[in-house]
């Protein structure tokens, strides 16, 4: 089964040698230890209103609820957590700001639709963003052309509203302009099928939330925004949608800056590794060794 972890996994000892970690409890313990070693670095990345203790609890809870994440390397859990910290989005909570999702042996962070909306509003150019799912018994119409608008009256009777036929996102800009993006269920399911996590993670547990997030992401790509964190969040989502391996490149730079600051301006140069992921892992290991 997709969410069934194997009997053991491999992690790294302090001396750099490989160690086999057996059983779910032992794997969770190894992940907690990696998070603890990186906690000071992660704390610097967090916005002031979120504490590192809270973030570690949230991540640990999310991992414990998702067996497939226990099969991911502890280092990738930390790297995905670092991305969530840098964006200021808590993964795996009821708010739907973001999710930790397994990709083979590595964890990746993907933003939720509320997370994208939050970052867009923080840009200062967007007043608000909303997203809705449309059902076949709803009253729904779209006008394109020179007078663009959406009319949506949900079906409120006690009977079932029917199947999902699509979803849309609407944003009001600071200047009062309203922009929207509508996607049919065929378009939404097409994106789902291209995801490596189509039958696992939030696509399985929070399908309609993922429909809404997909429309918000499509809308955000067309908005005149220059918010760096939103751009990074959109990139993480695009990587996940394309079914590609996690890209921790943004974390390499951030972890490097944090490590340099922590050593009072000393240089912490990345090892000449062949991949950006390995370089990011090196940053974390270097930082842990300085604590």
pLDDT at residue 285 in the model = 53
H runs (alpha helix) in 132-275? 185-194, 202-205, 207-222, 228-241, 249-262
Nearest to 36 by CA among 251, 284, 276: 284
Task: Give me the average pLDDT of each 10-residue run along the chain (291 residues).
Answer: 43 49 81 89 85 92 89 90 90 86 86 87 88 96 90 92 96 91 96 78 84 90 76 77 71 55 37 47 54 49
pLDDT at residue 213 in the model = 87
- Cα(168)–Cα(212) distance, rounded to whole angstroms? 7
pLDDT at residue 279 in the model = 54
pLDDT at residue 259 in the model = 41
**pLDDT tens digit sequence for 201-218:** 778 888 998 899 899 988
Per the structure block, which two tokens stand in for 83? 């991305």
Rg value, the chain, Cα? 21
Per the structure block, which two tokens stand in for 37? 């070693």
pLDDT at residue 284 in the model = 55
Nearest to 210 by CA among 105, 90, 119, 116: 116
- Cα(250)–Cα(111) distance, rounded to whole angstroms? 15
């Amino acid at each position: 089964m997709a969410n069934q972890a194997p009997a053991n996994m491999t992690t790294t000892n302090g001396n750099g040698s490989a160690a086999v970690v057996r059983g779910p409890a032992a794997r969770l313990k190894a992940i907690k230890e990696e998070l603890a070693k990186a906690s000071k670095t992660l704390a610097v990345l967090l916005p002031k209103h979120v504490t590192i203790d809270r973030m570690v609890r949230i991540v640990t809870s999310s991992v414990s609820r998702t067996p497939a994440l226990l099969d991911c390397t502890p280092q990738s859990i930390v790297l995905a957590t670092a991305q969530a910290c840098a964006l200021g989005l808590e993964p795996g909570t009821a708010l739907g700001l973001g999710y930790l999702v397994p990709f083979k042996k590595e964890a990746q962070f993907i933003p939720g639709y509320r997370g994208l909306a939050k970052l867009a509003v923080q840009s200062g150019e967007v007043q608000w963003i909303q997203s809705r799912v449309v059902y076949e018994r709803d009253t729904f119409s779209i006008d394109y052309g020179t007078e663009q608008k959406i009319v949506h009256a949900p079906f409120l009777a006690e009977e079932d509203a029917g199947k999902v036929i699509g979803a849309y996102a609407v944003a009001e800009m600071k200047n009062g302009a309203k922009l929207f993006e509508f996607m049919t269920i065929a378009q939404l399911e097409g994106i789902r099928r291209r995801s490596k996590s189509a039958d696992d993670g939030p696509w399985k547990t929070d399908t309609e939330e993922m429909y809404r997030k997909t429309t918000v992401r499509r809308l955000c790509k067309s908005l005149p925004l220059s918010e760096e964190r939103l751009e990074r969040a959109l990139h993480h989502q695009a990587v996940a949608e394309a079914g590609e391996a996690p890209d921790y490149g943004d974390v390499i730079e951030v972890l490097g800056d944090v490590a340099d600051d922590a050593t009072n301006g000393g240089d912490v140069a990345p090892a000449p590794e062949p991949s950006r992921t390995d370089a990011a892992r090196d940053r974390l290991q270097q930082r842990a060794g300085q604590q």
